[in-house]
Structure 1
Amino acid sequence: MTDALLVAGGGEAVAGDGQAWPGGGAAVAGGAGAGGELLLHADLHNHTRLSDGDGWAEEAFASMRAAGLDVAAITDHAYGISEPAKTIDDEGWRRIGKLADAADEPGAFVAVRGFEWSSTSLGHMNVWGGERWVEPLPLVSDGVPSGSAIADEGPADGPAAVLAFHDWLAAGDELVGFNHPGREPGRFGMFRYDPRLAERLVALEMFNRDEDYLFEGVDAGVSPLVACLDAGWRVGLAGVTDEHRGGWGFHDGLGRTGLWAPERSRGGVRAAMLRRRMFATRERGLRVDARLGGVAMGATQRLDRINADKSGYVRIEVDFFAPDDWVGHPLRLQVLQRGEPVPAIVAEFEFRVVNRTLSFPVRIDDDAGDWVVLRITDPGRAADARAARLEGYRSAGLAVAYLSPFFVSR
């Protein structure tokens, strides 16, 4: 059972309009983001001919900047032995670094070097901002002949390749994210948790290209969002194009990430990702942020501090600002907590876009895990086909945005 409320006229306004910034960013006038946070529009997952993309790496950053992005990354594949024709090498890695340094312009445009650790069985993970790269430890299922000295499985508690990758990551300071989660059957060693990486494993892709990964693999298991958060990872939620075709940044309807950053620079982007101050969308020009009991999305807070009156209800404030042609359009806000095979919808609210901060009361289930995720949908557009048998998701329509979780301690 969910709480439901039709918010006529957009609900309670608690903050004013944002102030426009050049290059697609925005400053928040009050509430979360006050104190100078900028909204940076980002695409952190792109490919070139240095691995299996169609476009030249020399054109990628300029294309994304011309398309209005504030932050862009090239993350070509590191497959190693399993896909030797589709992987970067040392020279490719150096080229990406030189191109990123040449394109980076603090205050105007942020260019990031990364790579995509790519196992055909365990999954793919982006690694951003470091000076190193590494190939996956090959598995039998990744193309190493049976009988190889490298075993398919390591200790009983996880695949050897995941353990080796975690060891490699623990020796550096790169930021890391889970890509198109659940697409590969190994699911990153079933989202094996490693406390050494808890701070720097910062992202889970919810939109990859035009796909909604909430529903990936639910016929055979649980949603990747549930599996990841219940494993203990404290990730922000991202949208990416995973572009392979060239024309980076110009294809509509594909994932992108909003980052609330202290400044438009590599340091500002890193700070935003470490704080999980991010949201996933497939729509251009959206500005989305939220607070739960006054606490910003991505943060951790004790439940008794956001629910001091013990009523069981907490105030959710949502900043949803969109281009003028969205004004008046009906949308739905879903409040998600732990559930199987998909998150439980513990509250649901309908509202119309009015470009003001909206406020909703919601009851948080003390027994439904230690995270809360906000999902915004458009009931006027058809839901993901995989939601057809999932009550509450089918009627909610197409997902517009996922906000990074609120993490609740007790």
Structure 2
Amino acid sequence: MPYGQVNVASSVGRRALLAGSGGMLMLAALPTAARAATTTVAGAPSPTAAAGAARTSLITQGTMLVHADMHNHTVMSDGDGSADAAFASMREAGLDVAALTDHATLFAIDGLSSSEWRTTADLANAANEPGQFTAIRGFEWSHPLQGHINVWNTSDFADLLRASSPGNLYDWLTGRPGGLASFNHPGRETGRFSNFSFHAAARNQLVGLEMFNRTDDYLFEGWSSGMTSPLVACLNAGWRPGLTGVTDEHGTTWGFHEGKGRSGLWVTENTRAAVFEAMAARRSFATRVSGLRVDATANGVRMGGVLNVTSADVRFLLDLDRSPAWDGKPLRIQVLRPGTSAPTVVDVIDTVNGRVTDFTVPLNAADGTWVVLRVSDPSQPNGSPGPAGHPCNDFGVAYTSPWWLQP
């Protein structure tokens, strides 16, 4: 087979294994939005370019906003599209940062092989243009019961032979100090990463928790079956991830789906090193709206940081804009704090798009060590609601990364 190409017939076999009852992942079959031809994708209007806000924060200095999608698939695992086309599609769609993260399972027939891992690096290097577009190679460690974890910035990959459990993967990751990882579609698989069992040595490298995956808000994932909110379970366990959104694309129109998850990253420049630095600093927000700008501080500390607070009134500034498409649109800010099975909402603030919102909330470390801001559209319902009457049963637009209270 020529270098860089994938046998389509074998990819169909992979998808059957991944989706069927005898497959290693036992994934549900996924509908794929189709386009008539590659030329249609190339000529499509960029949603980010059409609706995007300015990339400069109104409340902080020294960084710029880039729009990122760090979770995408190709025929090298269970996707439909050739990896050769993926990065170009995402750049054409208006993304600034993009990653390919095909599944690493048990056997190469189910997911990445060593040769395909090298091919992904070649494609990322060819597409990467420092300062303009950052292309990244990664993989998705994929366990049928415990869950899936994305890993980026490593020279090798771990399948289930190399790491058969989340704990094994954390040990593998800590042996690669530059590697970064994320909890994917958290709570979808029943094991929930051994119920988010905490591994202190890997805390700094676990930099992401997907709050939007495809079109879904994962705040109350599993709630209807009696499960705890993944956000609450993860943060209460001791993990300190940034919050992210991803398309988890399995089709052929990478980047072109309005309404699917994506991330905002605040970077010093659009390069791999700066992207990884921003991820490690948790300067990220999750959204499922193209072109959105979100930046936030608490007592001057940027989202993703530590507040030296025992008990105090904390002043928040939230810069929120998607102009011009949303000028004046009513939105809502919910202040999320730890709860037992769902986050506690300690304040709700009405705002509008295009405004810096300034508000103060009393926080006490005795009530829990983290705080998150959720932005919502009160005119629409949450497709996966939580407890009756919960303030977050409206349509989620964005999540800031958490702040951690550490007296």
Q: Same fold (TM over 0.5)?
A: yes
| Counterpart among 144, 166, 171 of residue 167 in structure 1 | 171
Distance 1:138 1:91, change over 3 A: closer
- 5 Å-filtered alignment, 1:65-76, equals 65-76=91-102
| Counterpart among 96, 110, 121 of residue 97 in structure 1 | 121
Question: What's 1:189 paired with?
Answer: 194
Distance 1:162 1:29, change over 3 A: closer
Q: Identity percentage over the alignment?
A: 47
Amino acid in structure 2 at the alignment position of 1:335: V
Q: Measure the CA separation in 1 of the matches of 2:368 and 2:157.
A: 35
**Deviation for aligned residue 1:352:** 1.8
Q: Measure the CA separation in 1 of the matches of 2:279 and 2:381.
A: 31
Q: Measure the CA separation in 2 of the matches of 1:25 and 1:375.
A: 19
| Counterpart among 246, 251, 257 of residue 245 in structure 1 | 251
Contact 1:193 1:231 in 2 (8 A): yes
**Deviation for aligned residue 1:387:** 3.2
1:360 and 2:386 are equivalent in the alignment: no
Contact 1:338 1:368 in 2 (8 A): yes
List per-residue Cα deviations over 1:276-326 (Å, max 9, x = no partner). Answer: 00000000111001011111100012115xxxxx7x422110000112121
| Counterpart among 109, 118, 129 of residue 133 in structure 2 | 109
Q: Measure the CA separation in 1 of the matches of 2:88 and 2:57.
A: 31
* Number of corresponding residues: 358
Q: Measure the CA separation in 2 of the matches of 1:390 and 1:119.
A: 35
Q: Measure the CA separation in 1 of the matches of 2:384 and 2:79.
A: 28
List per-residue Cα deviations over 1:336-359 (Å, max 9, x = no partner). Answer: 000132100011111122x23210
TM-score of the aligned structures, taking structure 2 as reference length: 0.84
Question: What's 1:157 paired with?
Answer: none
1:399 and 2:396 are equivalent in the alignment: yes
Q: Measure the CA separation in 2 of the matches of 1:43 and 1:260.
A: 14
Amino acid in structure 2 at the alignment position of 1:189: S
**Deviation for aligned residue 1:80:** 1.1
Contact 1:314 1:362 in 2 (8 A): yes
Runs of 4+ with >6 A deviation: none
Question: What's 2:41 paired with?
Answer: none
Contact 1:26 1:40 in 2 (8 A): no
Amino acid in structure 2 at the alignment position of 1:106: P
List per-residue Cα deviations over 1:361-406 (Å, max 9, x = no partner). Answer: 2122433210000000001112224336242223xx2000010001
**Deviation for aligned residue 1:29:** 5.2
TM-score of the aligned structures, taking structure 1 as reference length: 0.83
SS of 1:60's partner is: helix
Amino acid in structure 2 at the alignment position of 1:279: F
Q: Which runs of 5+ in 2 are unaligned?
A: 1-47
Question: What's 2:342 paired with?
Answer: 342
SS of 1:325's partner is: coil
- 5 Å-filtered alignment, 1:2-401, equals 26-28=54-56, 30-32=58-60, 34-35=61-62, 37-81=63-107, 85-137=109-161, 161-172=165-176, 173-218=178-223, 219-303=225-309, 312-353=312-353, 355-387=354-386, 389-394=388-393, 397-401=394-398
Contact 1:276 1:299 in 2 (8 A): yes
SS of 2:219's partner is: helix
Amino acid in structure 1 at the alignment position of 2:203: A
**Deviation for aligned residue 1:95:** 0.5
Distance 1:402 1:323, change over 3 A: same
Contact 1:138 1:161 in 2 (8 A): no
Q: Which runs of 5+ in 1 are unaligned?
A: 1-19, 140-159, 305-309
